[in-house]
Amino acid sequence: MLMKALRVGFGRLILVGDAVSRPRPQRRSAHGQAMVEKEAARLSLYQFHACPFCVKTRRALHRLNVPMTLRDAKNDPVQRDRLLVGGGKVKVPCLHIQENGQSRWLYESNAIIAYLEQRFAGIF
């Protein structure tokens, strides 16, 4: 019970810290942002709301100004099952990438952020 209280308290502290220190979103032309939104429609992030690695990944999404569907793999059993069946394990964050009729599952916050940087940082 003590561990759960510590986890919940720490999770809330992480969320408050994120809200207070959120980075500014990247500015783009209307055309550039439309391109980003079109590409991001094929991506979704499976995450837990208070997971520090998920917060880190969501901060990168915000900084890069990439609107993305967020899937709650902790509280939504349907999304949790999709993550398990598609990705092979319930581990977050996980980026689901759909392109060229293929489905790819990318785990690890650093790998996801590197992918997002490579794909979206240069679009103005």
Domain span including residue 121: 39-124
pLDDT, tens digit (0-9, with 9 covering 90-100), for 111-123:
999 999 999 998 8
Domain at 100, CATH number: 3.40.30.10
For residue 12, is it within any domain? no
pTM given for the model: 0.89
Question: Does residue 16 sit within a domain?
Answer: no
Residue 98 CA to residue 116 CA, distance in Å, equals 14
Q: Output phi, psi for 91, to 5 deg.
A: -140, 135
The pair phi, psi for residue 25, each rounded to 5°, is -75, 150
pLDDT at 83: 98
Assigned domain for 8 exists: no
Using the predicted structure, report yes or no on whether residue 61 has a pLDDT greater than 90. yes
Residue 98 included in any domain:
yes
108 lies in some domain: yes
Residue 17 lies in a domain: no
Total number of domains in the chain: 1
**Cis preceding linkage at 23, omega within 30:** no
